[in-house]
Homo-oligomer: A and B are copies of this chain.
Amino acid sequence: MPTANDYTTNGFAITADTVLLTVRNGQLSVLLVERGNDPYKGHWALPGGFVDLNEDLDDAARRELAEETGVSLEPSHLEQLCSYGTPGRDPRQRIVTVAYLAFVGVPTIPVAGDDASAARFFAIDDLNIAGSETGTGTALAFDHAQILADGVERARAKLEYSTLATAFVDETFTLGELRRVYEAVWGMPLHEANFRRKVLGTQGFVEPTGETAPTEGRPAQLYRKGAATTLHPPILRPTRDQPDE
């Protein structure tokens, strides 16, 4: 098994890093690993690592995620985010990182790292990234704060026009659970009745199972993901009504 040092040449190296998002305790959260080696030893970073010379990019992202965190992903649940290759972003050599984005529900995640010294979830609001108002002092390695910020914004946008939200809940779920996903990712409360009307009015978004689940109040109908992947019409974020200006 190659280690990072095998790739330290005088040419380019490629890494594949993954922004794995989930919703835990009502908060949008990301899976990070603590780096066990320099550079940035002891800092938290996105799981990922060097792409092998005969390995496809997304295969590398899945392999590194599994090695460092124990999380195994279906190939379909991984989408490319962006690539980052500014000279100097890694002090060792010229490295171009292809970043991926993944969305999972909480119960599917057995976090246990092999290569990294630790792996755990952080609430986005507790990290210092662009687009997050609060944030204490957890400084991410490399330019991973920027990558994470780009991934969070992509996720927020995709909730509007895709069925992505169903990736964050169990196989069956209530509309309240689905709404709390939207609220956690967008960071704002939604109107319960209107949300229900929009979701049920969008063909193929969810379909009822006929069963109910207990809640604190009245039991809720259970739904499962429908056949649609894109939403017509989209479910838009509430008014960010100031034009650019």
Contacts and interface: CB of A to CB of B under 8 A. Distances in A.
Interface in A60-102: 80, 82-83, 85-87, 94, 96, 98
Contacts of A211: none
- Chain copies in the assembly? 2
Interface of A is mostly: loop
B244 A229 contact: yes
A228 interface: yes
Nearest to A230: B244
A34 B188 CA distance: 52
A96 B14 contact: yes
B241 A94 contact: no
Contacts of A222: none
Given A80-B82, A83-B98, A12 B53 contact: yes
Interface of A: 9-14, 51, 53-57, 80, 82-83, 85-87, 94, 96, 98, 203-204, 227-230, 232, 240-241, 243-245
